[in-house]
């Protein structure tokens, strides 16, 4: 379709002022000029005449006939047009090429159909052109491809002259009709051949003239070569016929005008009622029947006509279905572009907003997006349908789908970006809401219900997401659903919940650890203090036997420790279960708690056996043994006392405490407590993050290269030796003091 793109709808119209154009088109428009050039302004003209928006509600009539048979004169009377006519004395051809004009005789008021276009075709006997019948054939093709009605204008005296010029014309029309419509199409459009017999004297009745013409046409029809299988076809299969006779215009001007007036009423809508209207006089039947219409939408007519003419003038095979498809493609694309302009106006700013948000890294939920998308989509499709659905169904359907997918790919992007913004802000809000609820719960000091906080915030987040997603559902768009995204959103909320719960677990663990630390601080401190008394708590032991406070120290420490931790485990478990921690999470938490608690105990023991502390306790232990008798009464030293013996005994007794203190052992097994078994293996669900802040424990973490024995060593051999020496020095001091006091007591 070479020249179609040059026929952009608006450019022509915009360039020509309406008043100037009205003048320029006073005689109608010369669609085809004498050089067979198609007029590019046809669209402008149709636009000016308000034909463009008419859809199928317009009609096209062509007039054929020999030169100077009063064709233009007739049209001007019939339709109020201003086609050029020959001056009475002049004998030169006036109509050249093909002219077109709109019916000027006020439409429906006069009973005439709306939007009648008339084409006045150059006379056909070639008197002045002296050419062959080339133009005649071409204009016949053009007229048949476009017109519903062909008016054949003949003199009465030409009727029955089988060899006359009119027969040549009609032969051409028939052949061309076969070429166009019959060849390989399934449905054959009918055309109306309307014979207007001029200068009817009245002596021969119209019916006779009519019969003569029909007989001639039948003979003509049988003489032309027809495509295979159509040899027996009748002319009536392809044409309807109508006849009218008009009086001599010059001799009987009043009667002429009256008959023309009468004739004009036949150019009304037929609405297919011709068959039903048996009552009507044949001579009054309406002209325009729907089946004659070529079904070219008015806004596509100029493009179609140009395409058709282009094929004709270049002697190409004129294939109307293809022409109609090409027209449909051209027009559908054009309409598509037009309707997208409005769509763009609505949608582009929203796309820009999203792009900007994305650039800032802050996707936001655009309010009113759903309404805007729904309106834009519905409008663009409706506008397209209104304008394009008149064109070739197949092409229209395809182009509609193209437009829809173009529109939808953009709306879908908007939709999805909005969903992901809703997703992101939903997750953020949820996380913040939970954190701040926990914080305010902590502030109040009350035991807030973490699980409940998560539950209600999650519910709220899901509801918000759903309503935001619901708001951007696009009606009729198959992609418009958010089930998948909703699932993802829920999954993310669950992930965030579990992360927040883990944090909450950590906070709980820290609190419980703190509790363990303070408990152990107190109770373990007390146990070590007992060493200082040297006598232990309960009852006086038999002299020389190590009191339970010393012998059972580690048993008691272990018992206190395990009981304390057991207590704390209960607290931890209860609380963790209250916020829906999984059994695995609880298991990991407890495992961590046991390990951490061991660290707390170990640090506490180390503190107790720090050099100064332990030395003080050994000294107290020694003094208790040395300066008190077996009844717990303080000794008053006398010179006769075996100070040295008592000293040695007490010192040795205290010294034996050092190795006892140095190793964490239970009495029953004289082995370290089963720390490894007590802590247990790492639960299967433990993660490296869970292990990150855990100190290694000898004998528990095998790959540490430290044994349980080593873990349970409180004082090394060197430390013990060093402690021994220091202690002895301290004891020596006490002894010297006792000695002095004994001597001093004597001298007093």
Return residues touching ligand GDP (CB under 6 A): 67-73, 85-86, 88, 94-95, 123, 198-199, 248-250
Q: Which does 250 bind (CB under 5 to 8 A by kind): ligand GDP, Mg ion, none?
A: ligand GDP
Region class of 362: left (phi > 0), else alpha (psi between -120 and 50), else beta? beta
Query: Least distance in Å: CB of 301 to ligand GDP?
Result: 24
Give the binding range for Mg ion (CB under 5 A) out of 27-35, 65-73, 368-376, 578-586.
65-73
| Nearest CB to Mg ion, comparing residues 71 and 501 | 71
Give the binding range for Mg ion (CB under 5 A) out of 71-79, 164-172, 262-270, 394-402.
71-79
Nearest Cα residue to 663 out of 712, 598, 630: 712
Q: Report the alpha-carbon distance of residue 144 to residue 142 in Å, rounded.
A: 6
DSSP assignments along 392-459, one per residue: -HHHHHHHHHHHHHHHHHHHHHHHHHHHHHHHHHHHHHHHHHHHHHHHHHHHH-S---HHHHHHHHHH
| Nearest CB to Mg ion, comparing residues 85 and 242 | 85
Q: What is the dihedral of CA 591, 597, 601, 603, to 10 degrees?
A: 110
| Nearest CB to ligand GDP, comparing residues 24 and 86 | 86
Find out whether 593 and 567 touch, Cβ atoms under 8 Å.
Answer: no
| Nearest CB to Mg ion, comparing residues 71 and 377 | 71
Query: Least distance in Å: CB of 385 to Mg ion?
Result: 42
Query: Least distance in Å: CB of 203 to Mg ion?
Result: 28
DSSP assignments along 60-100, one per residue: EEEEEESTTSSHHHHHHHHH--------SS--S----SEEE
| Nearest CB to ligand GDP, comparing residues 125 and 550 | 125
DSSP annotation of 179 reads: I
Q: Which does 530 bind (CB under 5 to 8 A by kind): Mg ion, ligand GDP, none?
A: none
| Nearest CB to Mg ion, comparing residues 62 and 177 | 62
Pairing of strands 116-121, 59-65: parallel
Query: Least distance in Å: CB of 166 to Mg ion?
Result: 16
Q: Give the chain's radius of gyration (CA, Å).
A: 57
Q: Report the alpha-carbon distance of residue 663 to residue 217 in Å, rounded.
A: 133
Query: Least distance in Å: CB of 123 to ligand GDP?
Result: 5
| Nearest CB to ligand GDP, comparing residues 59 and 198 | 198
Q: What is the dihedral of CA 506, 512, 513, 514, to 10 degrees?
A: 110
Query: Least distance in Å: CB of 26 to ligand GDP?
Result: 17
| Nearest CB to Mg ion, comparing residues 84 and 599 | 84
| Nearest CB to ligand GDP, comparing residues 71 and 592 | 71
Query: Least distance in Å: CB of 84 to Mg ion?
Result: 7
Q: Which does 97 bind (CB under 5 to 8 A by kind): ligand GDP, Mg ion, none?
A: none
Q: Which does 248 bind (CB under 5 to 8 A by kind): ligand GDP, Mg ion, none?
A: ligand GDP
Find out whether 318 and 312 touch, Cβ atoms under 8 Å.
Answer: yes
Query: Least distance in Å: CB of 478 to ligand GDP?
Result: 60
DSSP assignments along 190-221, one per residue: -EEEEEEEES--SSS-HHHHHHHHHHHHHHHH
DSSP annotation of 178 reads: I
Query: Least distance in Å: CB of 71 to Mg ion?
Result: 5
How many beta carbons lie within 10 A of that of residue 119, not counting itself? 25
| Nearest CB to ligand GDP, comparing residues 69 and 354 | 69
Number of residues that bind Mg ion (CB under 5 A): 3
Q: Report the alpha-carbon distance of residue 182 to residue 337 in Å, rounded.
A: 36
Distances (CA, A) of 166 to 125, 223, 375, 641, 734: 9, 15, 59, 169, 157
Q: Which does 139 bind (CB under 5 to 8 A by kind): ligand GDP, Mg ion, none?
A: none
Nearest Cα residue to 22 out of 51, 39, 53, 47: 47
Query: Least distance in Å: CB of 182 to ligand GDP?
Result: 30
Q: What is the dihedral of CA 341, 345, 350, 353, to 10 degrees?
A: 110
Near Mg ion by CB under 5 A: residue from 72, 115, 549, 621: 72
Give the binding range for Mg ion (CB under 5 A) out of 93-101, 207-215, 265-273, 478-486.
93-101
Nearest Cα residue to 675 out of 511, 532, 557: 557
Q: Which does 69 bind (CB under 5 to 8 A by kind): ligand GDP, Mg ion, none?
A: ligand GDP
Does 95 engage in binding with Mg ion (CB under 5 A)? yes
Q: Which does 132 bind (CB under 5 to 8 A by kind): ligand GDP, Mg ion, none?
A: none
Q: Which does 604 bind (CB under 5 to 8 A by kind): ligand GDP, Mg ion, none?
A: none
DSSP annotation of 135 reads: H
Q: Which residues bind Mg ion (CB under 5 A)?
A: 71-72, 95
């Amino acid at each position: 379709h070479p020249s179609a793109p040059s026929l952009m709808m608006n450019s022509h119209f915009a360039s020509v002022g309406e008043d100037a154009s009205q003048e320029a088109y006073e005689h109608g428009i010369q669609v085809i000029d004498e050089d067979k050039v198609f007029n590019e302004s046809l669209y402008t003209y149709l636009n000016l005449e308000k034909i463009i928006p008419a859809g199928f509600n317009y009609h096209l009539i062509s007039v054929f006939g020999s030169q100077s048979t009063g064709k233009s004169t007739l049209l001007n009377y019939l339709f109020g047009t201003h086609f050029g006519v020959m001056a009475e004395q002049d004998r030169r051809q006036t109509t050249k090429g093909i002219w077109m004009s709109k019916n000027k005789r006020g439409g429906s008021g006069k009973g005439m159909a709306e939007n009648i276009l008339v084409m006045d075709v150059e006379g056909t006997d070639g008197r002045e052109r002296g050419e062959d019948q080339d133009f005649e054939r071409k204009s016949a093709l053009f007229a048949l491809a476009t017109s519903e009605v062909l008016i054949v204008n003949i003199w009465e005296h030409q009727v029955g002259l089988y060899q006359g010029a009119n027969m040549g014309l009609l032969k051409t029309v028939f052949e061309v009709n076969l070429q166009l419509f019959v060849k390989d199409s399934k449905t054959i459009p009918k055309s109306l051949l309307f014979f207007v017999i001029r200068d009817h004297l009245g002596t021969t009745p119209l019916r006779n003239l009519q019969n003569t013409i029909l007989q001639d046409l039948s003979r003509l029809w049988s003489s032309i070569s027809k495509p295979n299988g159509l040899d027996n076809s009748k002319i009536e299969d392809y044409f309807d016929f109508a006849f009218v006779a008009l009086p001599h215009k010059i001799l009987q001007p009043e009667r002429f005008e009256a008959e023309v007036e009468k004739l004009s009423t036949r150019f009304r809508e037929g609405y297919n009622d011709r068959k039903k209207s048996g009552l009507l006089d044949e001579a009054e039947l309406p002209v325009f029947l729907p089946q004659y219409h070529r079904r070219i939408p008015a806004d596509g007519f100029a493009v179609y006509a140009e395409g058709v003419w282009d094929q004709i003038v270049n002697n190409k095979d004129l294939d109307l279905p293809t022409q109609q498809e090409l027209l449909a493609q051209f027009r559908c694309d054009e309409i598509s572009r037009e309707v997208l302009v409005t769509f763009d106006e609505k949608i582009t700013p929203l796309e820009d907003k999203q792009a900007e948000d994305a650039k800032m890294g802050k996707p936001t939920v655009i309010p009113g997006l759903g309404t805007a998308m729904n309106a834009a989509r519905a409008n663009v499709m409706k506008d397209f349908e209104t304008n394009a659905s008149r064109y070739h169904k197949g092409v229209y359907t395809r182009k509609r789908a193209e437009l829809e997918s173009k529109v939808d790919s953009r709306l879908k992007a908007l939709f999805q970006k909005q969903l992901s913004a809703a997703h992101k802000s939903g997750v953020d809000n949820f996380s913040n809401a939970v954190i701040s609820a926990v914080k305010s719960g902590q502030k109040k000091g009350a035991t807030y219900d973490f699980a409940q906080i998560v539950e209600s915030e999650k519910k709220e987040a899901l509801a918000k997401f759903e309503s935001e997603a619901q708001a951007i559902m696009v009606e009729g768009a198959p992609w418009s659903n958010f089930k998948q995204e909703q699932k993802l959103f829920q999954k993310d909320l669950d992930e965030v919940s579990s992360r927040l719960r883990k944090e909450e677990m950590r906070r709980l663990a820290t609190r419980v650890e703190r509790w363990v630390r303070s408990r152990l601080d107190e109770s373990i401190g007390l146990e070590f203090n007992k060493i200082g008394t040297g006598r232990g708590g309960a009852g006086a032991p038999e002299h020389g036997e190590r009191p339970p406070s010393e012998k059972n120290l580690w048993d008691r420490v272990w018992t206190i420790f395990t009981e304390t931790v057991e207590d704390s485990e209960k607290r931890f478990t209860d609380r963790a279960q209250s916020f829906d921690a999984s059994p695995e999470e609880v298991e990991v938490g407890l495992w961590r708690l046991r390990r951490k608690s061991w660290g707390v105990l170990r640090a506490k023991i180390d503190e107790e056996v720090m050099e100064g502390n332990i030395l003080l306790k050994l000294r107290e232990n020694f003094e208790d043994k040395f300066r008190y008798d077996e009844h717990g009464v303080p000794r008053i030293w006398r010179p006769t006392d075996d100070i040295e013996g008592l000293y040695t005994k007490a010192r040795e007794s205290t010294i034996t405490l050092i190795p006892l203190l140095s190793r964490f052992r239970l009495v029953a097994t004289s082995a370290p407590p089963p720390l490894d078994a007590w802590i247990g293996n790492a639960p299967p669900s433990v993660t490296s993050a869970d292990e990150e802040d855990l100190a290694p424990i000898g004998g528990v973490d095998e790959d540490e290269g430290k044994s349980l024995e080593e873990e349970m060593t409180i004082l090394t051999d060197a430390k013990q030796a060093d402690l021994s020496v220091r202690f002895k020095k301290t004891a020596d001091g006490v002894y010297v003091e006792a000695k002095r006091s004994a001597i001093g007591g004597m001298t007093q």
